[in-house]
A and B are shown apart, each in its own frame.
Chain A
Amino acid sequence: MEPITEHTGIGVPLRRSNVDTDQIIPAVYLKRVSRTGFEDGLFAAWRGDEQFVLNIEPFDRGSVLVAGPDFGTGSSREHAVWALMNYGFRVVISSRFADIFRGNAGKQGLVAAECGQDDVELLWKILENDPGTEVTVDLTSKTVRAKDFSAPFEIDEYTRWRLTEGLDDIALTLRHSGDIAEFERNRPGHKPVTLPAAQSQ
C-alpha cells in the first residue's frame, strides 16, 4: 500500500444518502478475479443518466467523493472500494460510513473521512457553485479544506497511522505469530474442524 498523508483533487458532490454497495457496484460486475478493471461497474445504474454527476465535466475527473450519510451500506464486497479507486477516487467524505465498507477502504488506502453532516452540506454547495473546486484532505491534521472552507474529520487512529505509513496489515499481525501459536495450543478440544484430523496441520 502506498503511504498517503495528504490528497488534493476535484471534489464530486453526490447528494444521496444510503448509497449502498449494490449502487456503488452491482453484483453482475463482481465476477472478475483481479483487483482491477472494476471502474466500468462504478455507479453503473446511475451512469446511464446523463445528468449524473460523474457524466458532467469536470466532475468526471474527480478524486474526492462527497456523499450523504450511510455510505457503503449492505454487502461486504471490497469490489466497492476497488471500483472507486480504479475510477480514480482517493477519498470519500460522508457523515456516516457502514462499518465493513470503512474497514475495506482502510485496507486498500482509500481514505474514508467522516465529517459532520453540516460540513458535508457546505461542501456540496461549494462544489456545486464552482465545479472543479479542489478539496484537500490532510491526514496529519485530520482536516478537509476547500477554498476558505476548513473542517475536521474523524478517522480511526490506527487506520490513520497505517495509511500514512503505508503498512501491510498481514505483516503487522505476523509480528505476533508466537502469540497466535500459543493461543492455538490452548484452544478447547471440542472446537470444530473442517477437515479430518489426518489432513489438519
Chain B
Amino acid sequence: MAEKRGRTLAEKVWDQHTVRRGEGAEPDVLFIDLHLVHEVTSPQAFDGLRLAGRQVRRPDLTIATEDHNVPTVDIELPIADPVSKTQVDTLRKNCEEFGVRLHPMGDAEQGIVHVIGPQLGLTQPGTTVVCGDSHTSTHGAFGAMAFGIGTSEVEHVLATQTLPLRPFKTMAINVEGTLRPGVTSKDIILAVIAEIGTGGGQGYVLEYRGSAIESLSMEARMTICNMSIEAGARAGMIAPDETTFAYLEGRPHAPQGEQWDDAVAAWRELRTDDDAEFDAEVTIDADALTPFVTWGTNPGQGLPLGENVPDPEQLGDDSAKFAAEKALSYMDLEPGTPLREIAVDTVFLGSCTNGRIEDLRAAADVLRGKKVADSVRMLVVPGSMRVRTTAESEGLDKVFLDAGAEWRQAGCSMCLGMNPDQLEPGERSASTSNRNFEGRQGKGGRTHLVSPLVAAATAVRGTLSSPEDL
C-alpha cells in the first residue's frame, strides 16, 4: 500500500468528483458541477446529441450566454453579419429545445461567460467547471477545478455530465512579497508566463500561492487564473479564503442559510496540505515586479515596461531566436527600441481577463480629468451587462466618454475580433486581453498585452506607458 501523504488542493477537488477510477490506461470519470455554454463551440455538440437521440442530462447544471459574436454597439438591431446571426440564433434554438437557461444579447445578466459565472455566484469553491473555451481557467480563482474543453467534450458533458480524464500534474507558483503601487495581478501572470513559457504548464494544474496572492481581491485572482492557459496549463487554482467567502455571500446562486454554513465549512478544507508535494514549483518575487508588457506574438514574449525590445541574437537557443525574429518582423519592431517609445493606434479595455468592475475603476482613476491622445482610439467594453450598469451607477461611463473613449455594450469584442470590433492590418494595440497571437485582434493587427493601468496611461500618452509616466 502506498504511503499516505497530504494532498494538494487540485487533488482534493479531483478526488471529490471522481465517479469512477480508471483501471490501467483508462481515464477516471470526473463529475462536472457546472457547464458554461456559448454560441461558438456548442452548435456541433447539440447537433451530435440530436443525431444520437440524446438529451442534456443536467440542464440544471448548465447555463448559456451569447458573448463571442455579439456586437457591442446597436445591440437592439439584428446582428448585421448573417453568419454570426445564424450562430447566435442556433444557440437560442438549442437552448429552447434542450431546456438550457440562456442570457441572450440585451439581457441584464448577459456577458462574457467567465464574467457571469462568478458574478451570479455559480462559480464556487471545490466545484468542477467546464466550458468550450480555454479561458475557463478563470474560475479556478475560487478554488474550483475549471478548464477549457473542445466541442466533442462539450457534447460529452451535455450527454453525461462527466468527462473521461487522467489526473493532471500539479505545479505550485509561489508569489511572495508585496506588489508595488501600479503593479497588478496582470503583471504577475505576464511575468509567470515569461518565466515558464507558453508550454511550461502543459499537463499541469497551477496553484498560485503565497502572500502576494492572498492579498489580492477575487477579481484580481480571476485575472491570474484566466491566463493559466497561456502558460499551457490545464487549469489554475487559488485556495479559497475569507476574501472568497465575502465575495460569494449574498450572490444570487450562493448557498443560503444553513447551506451557507455547510458550504463554508466544506470550503475551508480546500487547502493544500502542509505535507503535500507538488510535481513542480516556481517562485516569483512580488517585490521586484514592475508593469509588464508583451513585445512579441505569444504571451510568453513579455518584459518589464522599462526595458527595450530584445535582440533575437541574445536569446537562448536557435528556436527562441527564430521565433523572436519572426515575432519582431510581424510586430514591425526594431531590437533596442525602448518599450515606452512604442506608439499604439488602439487601446482595448475589456475581455474575460480584465473586463470586470475593478478593472474599469482602475482605468477610470487614471483617465479622470485627462484626454485620450488624438492619435489613439480607446474602446471600453464591459465584461457583462451587470458590470456595465454598475460602472454607470458610479459614473465611470462619463469618465471614459469625457476622456474621449468609446463606451460599449458587453461581450468578448476585440479580444478575438469575431464581431466587428477588429484591428485593421498593421494597426497596433495595447490590449488588456490575453492573447497577442498574429492576427488575433484582426488580420495583420499587432497586439501588446497590458494591465488596465498601463492601458489607460498608454491611451493618454499614445505610447506604452504606466500611470507614473503621466
Interface positions of A (Cβ within 8 A of B): 16-18, 20, 22-23, 26-28, 30-35, 45, 68-70, 73-79, 81, 96, 98-100, 103-104, 107-108, 156-158, 161, 169-170, 172-174, 176-177, 179-180, 183-184, 187-195, 199-201
Question: Which one of B99, B152, B155, B319 has the highest number of Cβ atoms from chain A below 10 Å of its Cβ?
Answer: B152
Smallest CB–CB gap between A32 and chain B, Å? 7
B180 within 8 A of A: no
Interface pair A157/B232, CB less than 8 Å apart: no
Do B266 and A31 touch across chains, with their CB atoms under 8 A apart? no
Known: A27-B68, A74-B134, A199-B99. 14 other contacts (CB 8 A): A18-B198, A31-B69, A35-B44, A73-B232, A76-B149, A99-B232, A156-B25, A170-B52, A172-B164, A173-B164, A187-B31, A190-B255, A190-B262, A194-B34
Nearest B-chain residue to A23, judged by Cβ: B438
* Separation of A192 and B154 alpha carbons in the complex (Å): 19
Q: B56-64, B181-189, B352-360: which one contacts chain A?
A: B56-64
B contacts with A, residue count (CB < 8 A): 88
Q: Could you tell me the distance in whole angstroms from the C-beta of A150 to the nearest C-beta in chain B?
A: 24
Chain B positions near chain A (C-beta within 8 angstroms) = 19-20, 22, 24-27, 29, 31, 33-34, 40-41, 43-44, 47, 52, 54, 57-63, 68-69, 81, 83-84, 86-87, 90, 99, 101, 121-122, 124, 127, 132-134, 136, 148-153, 155-156, 159-162, 164, 166, 198-199, 202-203, 229-230, 232, 234, 253-255, 259-260, 262-263, 266, 298, 319, 322-323, 326, 416-418, 435, 437-440, 443-444
Do A173 and B29 have beta carbons less than 8 Å apart?
Answer: yes
Q: Pick the contact of A26 from B47, B68, B151, B439 — CB < 8 Å?
A: B439
Determine if A158 and B47 form an interchain contact, defined as CB atoms under 8 angstroms apart.
no
- Asked if B418 and A70 sit within 8 Å, CB to CB, the answer is no
Q: In the bound complex, what is the Cα–Cα distance between A199 and B81 (angstroms)?
A: 34
24 contacts between A and B (CB under 8 A): A17-B319, A22-B437, A30-B40, A32-B83, A34-B44, A73-B199, A76-B148, A77-B40, A98-B199, A98-B202, A100-B148, A100-B150, A104-B153, A158-B22, A158-B27, A158-B166, A173-B156, A176-B20, A188-B266, A190-B259, A192-B254, A194-B63, A194-B122, A199-B99
Query: In the assembly, what is the distance between CA of A62 and CA of B363, in Å?
Result: 49
Docked pose: A29 CA to B253 CA in angstroms: 36
Name the CB-closest residue of B to A77.
Answer: B41
Known A-B contacts A100-B134, A108-B152; A193 and B61 likewise in contact (beta carbons under 8 Å): yes
Give the total number of A-B pairs whose CB atoms are below 8 A apart. Answer: 212
Chain A residues whose C-beta falls within 8 Å of the C-beta of B41 in the assembled complex: 76-78
Report the nearest B residue to A46, measured CB to CB. Answer: B438
**Given known contacts A161-B25, A191-B127, A76 and B150 CB-to-CB distance under 8 angstroms:** yes
In the complex, which of the residues B29, B90, B319, B438 contacts A69, with contact meaning CB atoms closer than 8 Å? B319
Contact A180 B232 (CB under 8 A): no
B20 / chain A contacts, CB cutoff of 8 Å: 176, 179
Please indicate which of the listed interface residues A169, A179, A187 has the most CB atoms of chain B within 10 Å of its own CB: A169
Q: Please, which residue of chain B has its CB at the minimum distance from the CB of A107?
A: B152
B438 to chain A, nearest CB (A): 6
A33 CA / B230 CA spacing, docked (Å): 27
B150 touches A70 (CB 8 A): no
Given the known interface contacts A77-B41, A98-B202, the answer about A192 and B127 at a Cβ–Cβ threshold of 8 Å is yes
User: Is A74 touching B437 in the complex (CB atoms < 8 A)?
Assistant: yes
Question: Once the chains are docked, how many angstroms separate the CA of A108 from the CA of B153?
Answer: 11
Q: Which residues of A contact B54 (CB under 8 A)?
A: 170
In the complex, chain B residues whose CB is within 8 Å of the CB of A99: 202-203, 232, 234
- CB contacts (< 8 Å) of A33 on chain B: these are 43-44, 47, 86-87, 90
What's the least CB distance linking B429 to chain A, in Å? Answer: 15
Q: Which residues of B contact A157 (CB under 8 A)?
A: 24-25
B151 touches A78 (CB 8 A): yes
Interchain CB contact under 8 A, A188 and B19? no
Smallest CB–CB gap between B467 and chain A, Å? Answer: 30
Q: Which residue of A lies closest to B234 (CB)?
A: A99
- Shortest distance from the beta carbon of B431 to any chain A beta carbon, whole Å: 14
Residue of A nearest to B168 (CB): A99
